[in-house]
Chain A
Amino acid sequence: MEPPEAAVGVLRHVHPLLEPGATVLHLTCLPVPDRIEADGRVLGELDQAAFVTALPVVESALDLLVAEGRLAEEARLEHDVLAHFSSGPEALAHFETTPRTRVPPALRALLRERDSPVAQRAGCLWRRLRALPG
């Protein structure tokens, strides 16, 4: 997997700004589609295939600097995060402007009819790395 040039460029620019032993903290999304929930049940999942497939590519930029001996991986942590909307149509309006996100027809129909709160549950991945000299 070829890491994106822009991401590698950012890491190579930032690395000299760090003192040896500095902490590198990286937050991104897990490569799974976001779930839409209401009243404690899952209404459906967003179609984020285009986005999800891009995530490991971004991660590979960090992996490249690990392979180069500039960073050392120390820890990973996964957790969920929620975004809240006051109604289904509000959530739908937001998703329609979210890049690389589509709302499947069945979920769209449920959201259109729902005038009470809904939540978007996403998986997050944190990586903690250590900056090595050089």
Chain B
Amino acid sequence: MKRASSGARLASVTRVLDPEGAHAAAARRLVSFDGRRVLEVGAGEGRLTFALAGETRSWLATEPRAESVEVARRTMPRALERTVRFAVAGGAEAPGSPGEFDLVFFSWSL
């Protein structure tokens, strides 16, 4: 899907991206998320974060657009509150310590 920021969407436009769950299904075919310590670069409003983080040990979702992070924090399922953290950061400023993560997930973010 050629990326358009949600901020660019017209308020009157209803666009439903991937209700079939094709992205998450493909990710699960490639890797097990079970027990992983994940760094996500380019989380947007958390669409894939919320779809995939449930099985992980921890998930740090970074996104440079503060307004998207605000939406993600507001809409995060309660079941993920202990697992998922959001940070406003670009990829080159993603926080973390050496060796902290065992999976990094770039979604249209390079």
Spell out A's residues near B (CB within 8 Å): 4, 6-7, 9-11, 13-14, 16-29, 34, 46, 48, 51, 58, 61-62, 75, 77, 79-86, 90-91, 93-94, 97-101, 120, 122, 124, 126, 128, 131
- With A13-B91, A17-B104, A98-B4 as given contacts, are A84 and B23 in contact (CB-CB < 8 Å)? no
Closest residue to A18 on the B side, CB-wise?
A: B101
User: How many residue-residue contacts, CB under 8 A, span A and B?
Assistant: 155
Spell out B's residues near A (CB within 8 Å): 1-4, 8-10, 12-20, 22-23, 26-27, 29-31, 36, 39, 41, 90-94, 96-110
Do B26 and A24 have beta carbons less than 8 Å apart?
A: no
Q: Within 8 Å CB of A25, what residues of B?
A: 27, 30-31, 103-106
Q: Within 8 Å CB of B15, what residues of A?
A: 83-85, 90-91, 94
Q: A22-B104, A51-B2, A91-B15 are in contact. List 15 more A-B contacts (CB 8 A).
A: A17-B97, A17-B98, A18-B39, A18-B102, A22-B102, A34-B1, A80-B22, A82-B20, A84-B16, A84-B19, A97-B8, A99-B3, A101-B2, A122-B2, A126-B27
- Residue from B1, B10, B41 with most neighbouring chain A CB atoms (10 Å): B1
In the bound complex, CA of A122 to CA of B91 (Å): 25
Do A77 and B104 have beta carbons less than 8 Å apart?
A: no
Q: How far is the CB of B25 from chain A (nearest CB, A)?
A: 8
Do A124 and B26 have beta carbons less than 8 Å apart?
A: yes
